[in-house]
Structure 1
Amino acid sequence: MRPKRAAARKAIAAIEEPTTNGVTAAPAKAAPKKAAATKKAPAAAKSTTTKTAAKTKAVTKPATKKTAAPKTTAAKKEPATKPAKKPAAKANTAVKRKATEEPEVKNAKRSKSESAEAEVGGAVKAPTKARKIAQPKAKKPRVKGPAINSAPTAPLNVYVFGEGSAGELGLGSAKGQIEVKRPRLNPLLDADKVGVVSAAVGGMHTAVLTKNNEIKTWGVNDQGALGRDTNWDGFRYWRQPTRIYPTNVDMTGLEDLIFTQVACTDSATFALTDEGQVYGWGTFRSNEGIFGFDPTTLIQPRPTLIPSLKKITKLATGANHVLALSSTGAVWAWGSGQQNQLGRRVLERFIKNALVPTKVGVPSKMVNVGCGSYHSFAIHENGDVYAWGLNSFGETGVPADVEEGGESDVHQATVVEALRPFGKIVCIEGGAHHTIAVTDRGELLGWGRLDGYQLGLDIKSLPKESIVYDASNNPRILKVPTQIPGIDAVACSAGSDHGIAVSKEGKAYAWGFSTTYQTGLGTDEDVEVATWIDNTAVRGKKLVWSGCGGQFSVLAGLAEPQTNGLTNGVH
């Protein structure tokens, strides 16, 4: 038994070599020389090894623990208080594998990397891959593109009037805000403290852009048009007059963007950035109800990027559709297209495709766009105006058989020949069934439906050949664009059945349906001809912009007197 025991001790000694820097000094090279003797007496070696390990427990504890490094015990750095028997058993297993020359593949790979680290005198480290995974990746900063748009800079005073029962006027807890008969300065939008520089009006909500690059909204939020949470009072929108305030849109994560324009449909809001990107929130509605924000989203409660739109320079909105003008002069349209306001047919089985921005079939080099509730316009650099959409009252300006009550919609972009005798159109907007426009010569034009005084014209003075009469021989439609006299205009806006124009001298004129005082003239009777809006709030002020909602209106004027007659870039 002594020769065999001596051979076993030599085998153990070959494994239990001294270590350097916590790494076993090349144990793999000694194993082949002892292979023959160890192979003949495996059982004896196993028995003797166990006894020897027990006798030399105190001496071999550090060495046997480090010997297990090929099994990654060194990398894991087990506590020193762990019993020595487990490392001894692992060492014995290692002896058997080396003796039979059958090392594990995964151990071989690990020992290769560990040996490489040992050559430079370092302790065995965790694999490099594990260290990379443990390190958090830094968020890449957004790469800002070139600016192609700029926001107006002059602060504006905001005046409101009309129906305010759903918070459309944004007067907060002010008394008498349910029905405001004449323009009232909104004190919550102080020109010095808030500094509104641009505004837009939807059917029952309003959005403004401030000098500090904030977007504030107020009014109805039942389909997310305000871009923020208003559920705190138990309503989908702010009904309570004492709880309606112009408040910031939730732009979390988008703080580094610079906005240059806001635009509103009946149930959605859109914002344009200086780089030409478009963000939006809310939803579109169709004849059947809520249609959706995009093909996969019914209601978008927070601002989101519309990724397919790039290098956009202007937005125009109807009741439930949007036009976007690009820097190359192309026009994109999306939203509800049931009245052909998108300039393309959308099959019923692919109806959601209408929610995808798609190019309109107009020539390149368009320089401006405008919308009615259900019809659209694009203006070419040569002055031609293209129109498409609903035309049941001749609101596109394209001749149609409106007298017979047949199909009259304009399915594709068509030049409005009747506008060529006038100056170049610089502003064009439409209501439900009428349109008004301003030329670069200051001409204020109107056409379409007029039986509710939507055009601000003295109907009795109009040529009969220009009018379509109903069955009772009452004037119903003005077929051709006609100038509204007495106003040197620079801007205009249209509600469903009323309109407002702003003159070069900074005065506002209103006409049309006035049941909820949306004309600002202090009367609930319809106003036939364009009439100057004059009261103490706006008298002597330089008004530069107007916006018409469904049952209310908004005016904006320079906080300091200006004499250049320009609109200060207000959209």
Structure 2
Amino acid sequence: MHTTHTRRRFATALCALVALLVPLTASTAHAQEKRLKSWGNNRSGQLGDGTWTDFRTTATTVLGLTSAEVVKIVAGGGGAATGHGLALLTDRTVQSWGANGSGQLGDGSVFSHNAPGQVVNLSNATDIAAGGWHSLALLADQTVVAWGRNDHGQLGNGTNADSSVPVRVEGLNKVVAIAAGLNHSLALREDGTVWAWGNDANGQLGDGSSASRNVPAPVTGLTGVTRIAAGCNHNLALVGPPGSGSGDVLKAWGYNAAGQLGDNSTVSRHTPVETWGTWPGGVSRIAAGCNHSIAVTGSDNRLAEWGQNTSGQLGDGTLDNRTTPVPVPGLTGVELVAGGREHTMALLGDNTVRSWGNNNSGQLSNGTTTNSSTPVTSLTALTGVDKIAAPVGGDFSLAN
């Protein structure tokens, strides 16, 4: 009897232990799921980690989003302490978080939130973009919607009234790519033309004037475009197939005080001009920070940069502005690139991230707040990174 009683007690204890271990194991597996990461300034909740912590010098986790469900990430912002993030999900909905004073989160309110929430009335998005205080989405029918600040007509709906929910951009169809600057927007149509709307004070609409527009208009003399990128107040366009060879042409227009157009001048341009460069091996990708520009070139995917360099965001070891492209020394195998207000990010072929430039808010994610004029390794807390994002006018970073 004593032996039987002991065995029963052991079996009961074992069942209880198993009951405890099963949920613990499931919870542990869930906790180890790959998650979207963020770092840098967080004063507007733009890191999406559920806090308002001033800044993070290494990666924190964006709440509620697993990497597997995230198709694309973008970041917006119009100042060091402002910013918002967007994530396009596999179900074609969009999540948003961060600053929302102009309705740029698209949730029907103007209240900022420090964790992701869903953009309303949006269920068929295929691409996203984020500007200073506004956001864009490309839909499956190749039309575009926008939400947020609209004081310069950057929503493209024929008004100058802000909208906290997505509104249709007028007169656009057959769109294949979108981009957003500080207060203007771009769309690339499948016929290779580029259309622009919003603020035009520095010629960033490329129509030869300085008149802002609240509906899209074509950029003058630009055809055969395959890639677009928008900085704070300037734009880039790649003419010809990406990486096609030394015949690639890169065009730029808009604000140019720091040389970000790359035409060996500091004169702003109201229509596109050619960026200086022979591009051996071609240009495969382009990106723009606030006042600097970036191109991935050659068969070994090197980086060239030009424009503002006051924080070392050109990565060439100096703080000198450049009016023509200069190489980032020692960096090859670049798969993706992103530009922030005064920092740059690159995703390498080994799925690690390098960053350089301004680091006052920890946006380089190397555990310090020290600027770097050469690339440093970002501590992403991730293996197998395949997406990165930085805000055109902000000081934080995203990786997935």
> Does the TM-score normalized on the shorter chain lie above 0.5?
yes
- Runs of 5+ unmatched residues, structure 2: 1-32, 78-82, 241-246
SS for the counterpart of 2:172 is coil
1:195-220 deviation digits (Å, cap 9, x = unpaired): 11111110011111111221111111
SS for the counterpart of 2:195 is strand
Matches of 1:278 and 1:297, distance apart in 2: 17
User: Normalising to structure 1: TM-score of the pair?
Assistant: 0.59
- Match of residue 543 from structure 1: 385
- Match of residue 531 from structure 1: 376
1:364 to 208, 223, 235: 223
Matches of 1:170 and 1:529, distance apart in 2: 28
Matches of 1:228 and 1:332, distance apart in 2: 27
Is residue 2:329 matched to residue 1:485? yes
Matches of 2:44 and 2:290, distance apart in 1: 22
How does 1:355-394 map onto structure 2 within 5 Å? 355-381=214-240, 383-394=248-259
Q: Which amino acid aligns with 1:210?
A: L
Matches of 1:163 and 1:374, distance apart in 2: 22
| Mapped contact 1:219–1:237 kept (Cα < 8 A) | no
- Match of residue 142 from structure 2: 276
Matches of 1:303 and 1:267, distance apart in 2: 14
- Match of residue 430 from structure 1: 288
Matches of 1:527 and 1:500, distance apart in 2: 12
Shift of 1:302: 1.1
Q: Which amino acid aligns with 2:238?
A: I
1:189 to 45, 65, 68: 65
Matches of 2:340 and 2:357, distance apart in 1: 9
SS for the counterpart of 2:96 is strand
| Mapped contact 2:154–2:183 kept (Cα < 8 A) | no
SS for the counterpart of 1:197 is strand
For residues 477 and 179 of structure 1, do their structure 2 counterparts lie closer, same or farther at Cα, with a shift above 3 Å needed? Answer: closer
Shift of 1:431: 2.1
Shift of 1:365: 1.8
For residues 291 and 384 of structure 1, do their structure 2 counterparts lie closer, same or farther at Cα, with a shift above 3 Å needed? Answer: closer
Q: Which amino acid aligns with 2:227?
A: N
Shift of 1:156: 7.1
Matches of 1:329 and 1:291, distance apart in 2: 21
CA RMSD of superposed structures (Å) = 2.1
- Match of residue 186 from structure 2: 323
Shift of 1:534: 3.2
Matches of 2:334 and 2:225, distance apart in 1: 23
Structure 1 runs (4+) deviating above 6 angstroms are none
2:399 to 552, 555, 566: 555
| Mapped contact 1:157–1:196 kept (Cα < 8 A) | no
| Mapped contact 1:430–1:493 kept (Cα < 8 A) | yes
Shift of 1:295: 3.8
- The size of the alignment, in residue pairs, is 353
Matches of 2:91 and 2:298, distance apart in 1: 31
Shift of 1:439: 2.1
Shift of 1:346: 3.9
Matches of 1:371 and 1:213, distance apart in 2: 24
1:161-209 deviation digits (Å, cap 9, x = unpaired): 0111211011125xx84321112232421235xx111111100111111
2:95 to 216, 220, 223: 216
Q: Percent identity?
A: 25
Q: Which amino acid aligns with 2:282?
A: K
- Match of residue 201 from structure 1: 75
- Match of residue 449 from structure 1: 308
1:517 to 356, 359, 362: 362
- Match of residue 266 from structure 1: 132
The structure with the greater share of residues assigned to strand is 2
| Mapped contact 1:163–1:517 kept (Cα < 8 A) | yes
Q: Which amino acid aligns with 1:513?
A: N
Shift of 1:327: 0.8
- Match of residue 4 from structure 2: none
- Match of residue 247 from structure 1: 117
1:290-315 deviation digits (Å, cap 9, x = unpaired): 98764424112211111311000001
| Mapped contact 1:205–1:218 kept (Cα < 8 A) | yes
| Mapped contact 2:197–2:217 kept (Cα < 8 A) | yes
Matches of 1:325 and 1:293, distance apart in 2: 15
1:79-103 deviation digits (Å, cap 9, x = unpaired): xxxxxxxxxxxxxxxxxxxxxxxxx
Q: Which amino acid aligns with 1:512?
A: G
Q: Which amino acid aligns with 1:281?
A: W
Q: Which amino acid aligns with 1:160?
A: S
Is residue 2:50 matched to residue 1:172? yes
Matches of 2:224 and 2:290, distance apart in 1: 28
- Match of residue 268 from structure 2: 409
For residues 293 and 225 of structure 1, do their structure 2 counterparts lie closer, same or farther at Cα, with a shift above 3 Å needed? Answer: farther
SS for the counterpart of 2:320 is strand
Matches of 1:395 and 1:368, distance apart in 2: 17
For residues 421 and 300 of structure 1, do their structure 2 counterparts lie closer, same or farther at Cα, with a shift above 3 Å needed? Answer: same
- Match of residue 15 from structure 1: none
- Runs of 5+ unmatched residues, structure 1: 1-154, 231-235, 403-407, 460-474, 557-571
Task: Identify the range of structure 1 (264-273 vs 182-191) with the bigger mean alpha-carbon deviation.
Answer: 182-191
Q: Which amino acid aligns with 1:196?
A: V
Matches of 1:363 and 1:411, distance apart in 2: 13
| Mapped contact 1:156–1:197 kept (Cα < 8 A) | no
Q: Which amino acid aligns with 1:445?
A: A
The structure with the greater share of residues assigned to helix is 1
User: Normalising to structure 2: TM-score of the pair?
Assistant: 0.83
SS for the counterpart of 1:333 is strand
For residues 156 and 276 of structure 1, do their structure 2 counterparts lie closer, same or farther at Cα, with a shift above 3 Å needed? Answer: farther
SS for the counterpart of 1:370 is strand
